[in-house]
Homo-oligomer: A and B are copies of this chain.
Amino acid sequence: MKNIALLTSGGDAPGMNAAIRAIVLSAHHYNYNLIGYYHGYNGLINRECKSLKLADVNGIIGRGGTILKSARCNAMHSEQGVNQAILTLENDKIDALIVIGGDGSFKGAIKLAKHWQGQVIGIPGTIDNDICETDYTIGFSTAVNTAIEAIDKIRDTADAFERVFLVEVMGRRSGHITFNVGIATAAEQILSFENFDCTDQAARLNDLSNDIKVVQQNRHAGYLIVIAENLWPEGNTNLAAQITNKTGIDCTPCILGHIQRGGAPVAKDRILATKLGIAAVQAITEDKTGIMIGESNGAVVTVLLQHATQKTKEVSQRLIKAQHDILSVSNQG
């Protein structure tokens, strides 16, 4: 019998609750104790926790957010904070810790693993899908669907007014959401780190404005740009204003923002979270540590946390090229 600790950390992602549920069911199946710590690593540092039972996860598979709350935790950047967290793990006689979160959360887990003897297991939970060695992260599919439903609505107005809309989606510094959303909404332009180098802003603005003017000339439809957050140095509201100014065609900025983090998870995220949660507890039974549980080609994989955090997963070149070569011809129609 083991004592397992569980926490959710960093930006919340739809499906985190489904993962928590799967872990509670699995822990019960293997007759393990399970303690949930609140507010990410803060819950370890401040010892805020509760024992997690079957009844606690009844009905949560379809709920956004996380019943364990989440937080960024600056204290984990100091040695003192890490030691405090370890002290709690030792006092509570924890044998294994499961962390559901993204890149930053995994780096915290690696720090703990250095000085603590227990097992450390990561589960990739972030809407950004920027963790390598796993095909998908929990929350990504829901975020993409939330964004396309929003943009399908914006398309109605764009077409009614034959106007330009600049829609910003999340993704931190990677374009997984941007490209998937852009292709799924038949966006006239997709702008992300992977295909839009902002070093020469004036040139970029020129290219973009010229394309808009040419495309909109003989056309009776809206022109949608899906753009990554953090891409344009002065912010996307500024870019929209400059486009309006340069083209003489109204360009309205829409920042989709936090609606992309919440909501009932789509099936894909519920099932992925369930599979990863089960596999994480399975890994604990096998005394594994220092690993992330991911899914690749439909199979569960275990990857060293070090590898998972070494670099960011890249957007498929095939998607980028498809947009550039073929899908963009729709602008001629």
Hey, which chain B residues are within 8 Å of A62, CB to CB? 148, 152, 185-186
Interface segment out of the listed A77-85, A87-95, A189-197, A252-260 = A252-260
B29 contacts A65, C-beta separation under 8 Å: no
A322 contacts B275, C-beta separation under 8 Å: yes
B-contact 0/1 string along A133-176, CB 8 Å cutoff: 00100000100111011101111110111100100000000000
Assembly CA distance A305 to B50 (angstroms): 47
Q: Is A199 an interface residue (CB 8 A)?
A: no
Assembly CA distance A131 to B262 (angstroms): 33
Q: Is A312 an interface residue (CB 8 A)?
A: no
Q: Is A268 an interface residue (CB 8 A)?
A: yes
* Contact of A159 with B59 at beta-carbon distance under 8 Å, contacts A165-B258, A184-B267 already known: yes
Assembly CA distance A220 to B14 (angstroms): 19
Identify which of B54, B148, B161 contacts A330 (C-beta below 8 A): B54
Q: Which of A15-46 contact B (CB under 8 A)?
A: 21-22, 25-26, 28-29, 39
A318 contacts B259, C-beta separation under 8 Å: no
Output the least CB separation between A286 and chain B (Å).
15
Assembly CA distance A318 to B69 (angstroms): 30
Output the least CB separation between A278 and chain B (Å).
6
Assembly CA distance A63 to B183 (angstroms): 15
Hey, which chain B residues are within 8 Å of A159, CB to CB? 59, 65, 69
Interface size on A, residues (CB 8 A): 87
Hey, which chain B residues are within 8 Å of A333, CB to CB? 53-55, 57-58
Q: Is A263 an interface residue (CB 8 A)?
A: yes
Assembly CA distance A61 to B181 (angstroms): 12
B-contact 0/1 string along A296-331, CB 8 Å cutoff: 111010000000000000001011001001110110
Identify which of B12, B180, B186 contacts A157 (C-beta below 8 A): B12
Interface of A is mostly: helix
Interface-central residue, A150, A267, A296, by most chain B CB under 10 Å: A267
Output the least CB separation between A237 and chain B (Å).
9
B268 contacts A268, C-beta separation under 8 Å: yes
Output the least CB separation between A28 and chain B (Å).
5
Assembly CA distance A123 to B160 (angstroms): 18
A259 contacts B298, C-beta separation under 8 Å: no
A65 contacts B327, C-beta separation under 8 Å: no
Assembly CA distance A267 to B145 (angstroms): 6
- Listed in ascending order, the chain A residues whose CB lies under 8 Å from chain B are 8, 11-12, 14, 21-22, 25-26, 28-29, 39, 53-55, 57-59, 61-66, 69-71, 135, 141, 144-146, 148-150, 152-157, 159-162, 165, 180-181, 183-186, 220-221, 252, 254-259, 261-264, 266-268, 270-271, 274-275, 278, 296-298, 300, 316, 318-319, 322, 325-327, 329-330, 332-333
Known: A12-B161, A252-B258. 7 other contacts (CB 8 A): A12-B156, A62-B148, A65-B159, A69-B160, A148-B270, A154-B259, A156-B263
